[in-house]
Amino acid sequence: MSRFEIDAKDAMGRVGSLELGGRTVTTPALMPVVNPHLHKPDLSEADIVITNSYIIYTGDSHDEAVKDGVRSVVGEGFDGVVVTDSGSYQMSVYGDDEVDVSNREILGFQRRIGTDIATPLDVPTPPDAARETAEGDVETTAERVREAVELYEGYGDAPALNAPVQGSTYDDLRERSAREAYTAGADVYPVGAVVPLMSDYRFGDLVDTVVAAKRGLGADAPVHLFGAGHPMVFALAVAVGCDLFDSAAYALYAEEGRYMTPEGTVQVDDLDELPCACSVCRGASGDKLGFEALAQHNLNVSFAEMRRVREAVRAGNLLELVETRCRAHPDLLDGLRRLGAHAETVERYDPASKSSFFYLGNPRRPEVVRHHQRLDRLELGDDTLVTAGRARGRDPLLLRPPFGPFPLELAETYPLNAETPEDPDDDAVDSALRGVERLVSLNPDATVTLEHPGWTHPRLDSLRDKGVRTEVYG
């Protein structure tokens, strides 16, 4: 029913092709949320959209959708992929008593209206819920995914299937839920109930949640991050392996007069000039943007950021974009640091060779981790010089923060040909000195001398305690 091919990779992110029923979506992709009873945006740039089958099932558009298919109520002329949610969000907000539909009923309805990717009635568990509650919701969700797989096996016209991953903020439950969803044999794997994390700017917890889900999924699994509709989070989320994003934020923010940028959101009334060059903003002023125009701008800037992210993956500089975006807000910086805490996991996905490396202040890059891991490949003589300066006719090991020691012959190879600041920060120096420590521990019989430009880092004392001679070069 579906096919997912990966064309380019960087960090845990990838550019791929998701094929569904003769239609192809280039991922990572933005899915605008379309409410058939409210404003319908310009979808000319969208290859894929998402709408709510429960709203259609219970609303005025029910008969039209059954007769003419779900595309008839999404938007005039739209011929891309349509994903339908099941009503789980309404159930989480209003309670089970207010959502009068069963899992089998809503799955059957999604098939009848010709959706391309259907969603079972999973049970979203909010962050920080009691563990017992989260465990029960994971099991109920798994049962409903299995029921969906069994139900659709009997139909030749069955849609592809979402298998939501739940588990609240318990990493082990997220991993278990993902593994059970993947084993069930679905097509796309949405990480659910994360909107409260993003609303509260808990981007570090968001990174942990996605990485935990990825541990339970196969490398070929397309991952949908439910409710991630702000462009400032796209690069970070793609870097941890998300492929699909749904956005209702473009319209919700417009209702509040909020103007999206890749770095955040501002009140449009506070802008004397509009900084965006999209078709809505060129020649316009903030006080003249009504709801529909502002919603379209928000959608335009979201599409533009997704294009930027895809190009960054293809060029191999996604992590540079992540660092740029994450340094625009303190809470996003927490997400960047949490990404660094998962550097060993990211390294397993990250390509070993790229065109360039720009050091922007994050030493927990996969390239640096990989370099430290490979220090056991160096064979030291009895007396080894490591210098952060120039070789000057000698044959030392070079030291360039944030990397550890490396042979002179590798100085012009990736990633050691990195663009780095002339004056490295403390984190970069610490990373380089940790590399020296690892080299010393791997070669306990060697005598090592370290030349440096006058660093005052406390790790130098630790190296001296291990028998390393340190000298300041002039």
What mean pLDDT is predicted for residues 316-337? Answer: 95
Tokens encoding 90 = 């309404």
In this prediction, residue 98 has a pLDDT band, given cuts at 50, 70 and 90, of low
Q: What is the DSSP string of 342-393?
A: THHHHHHHS-S--S--B--S----HHHHHHHHGGGG----SEEEEESS--TT
Query: Which two three-digit tokens encode residue 20?
Result: 């569904």
pLDDT of amino acid 93: 60
Tell me whether residue 276 is annotated as binding.
yes
- Backbone angles phi and psi of 115, in degrees to 5: -65, 155
Residue 175: CB partners within 8 Å, gap ≥ 6? 167, 212, 213, 215, 216
Which amino acid, residue 345?
Answer: T
| 407's tokens | 């042979």
264-300 pLDDT, tens digit each: 999 999 998 899 999 999 888 877 789 999 999 999 9
Q: Catalogue the long-range contacts made by 18-24 (C-beta closer than 8 Å, 24 or more residues apart).
A: 18/81, 18/188, 18/222, 18/243, 18/244, 20/81, 20/116, 20/117, 20/160, 20/187, 21/81, 21/116, 21/160, 23/47, 23/79, 23/80, 23/81, 23/116
> Of 7, 10, 85, 272, which residue is the catalytic one?
85
- The two counts, helices (H) then strands (E), for the chain are 18, 18
Residue 97 CB neighbour total at 10 angstroms:
7
Residue 225 forms beta bridges with which residues? Answer: 191, 245
**Average per-residue pLDDT for the chain:** 93
Tokens representing 419 are 């663009």
The predicted model gives 219-227 an average pLDDT of: 95
pLDDT higher than threshold 70 for residue 95:
no
222: pLDDT confidence band, cut at 50, 70 and 90? Answer: very high
Which tens digits make up the pLDDT trace of 20-65?
978 999 999 999 999 888 878 889 999 999 999 999 998 889 999 9
Rg (CA), the chain: 26
Q: How far apart are CA 420 and CA 357, in angstroms?
A: 9
- Residue identified by tokens 């098939």 is 111
Catalytic residue flag (residue 85): yes
Q: Following CA atoms 90, 96, 102, 103 in sequence, which dihedral angle do they give, to the nearest 10 degrees?
A: 60
pLDDT at 188 over 70: yes
Report the pLDDT value the prediction gives residue 28, as an integer from 0 to 100: 98
The structure's pTM equals 0.93
122 assigned to a ligand binding site: yes
Strand partners, 162: 188
125-179 confidence digits (pLDDT tens): 999 999 999 999 999 999 999 999 999 997 878 999 999 999 999 999 999 999 9
Q: What would the pLDDT profile of 111-120 be if each residue is shown by its tens digit?
A: 999 999 999 9
The confidence score (pLDDT) of residue 233 equals 97
Strand-pair category, 258-261 with 244-247: unpaired
The Cα 151–Cα 162 span in angstroms is 14
Buried b (16+ CB within 10 A) or exposed e, 78-93: bebbbbbbbbbbbbbe
pLDDT of 94 above 70:
no
Annotated binding-site residue? 326: no
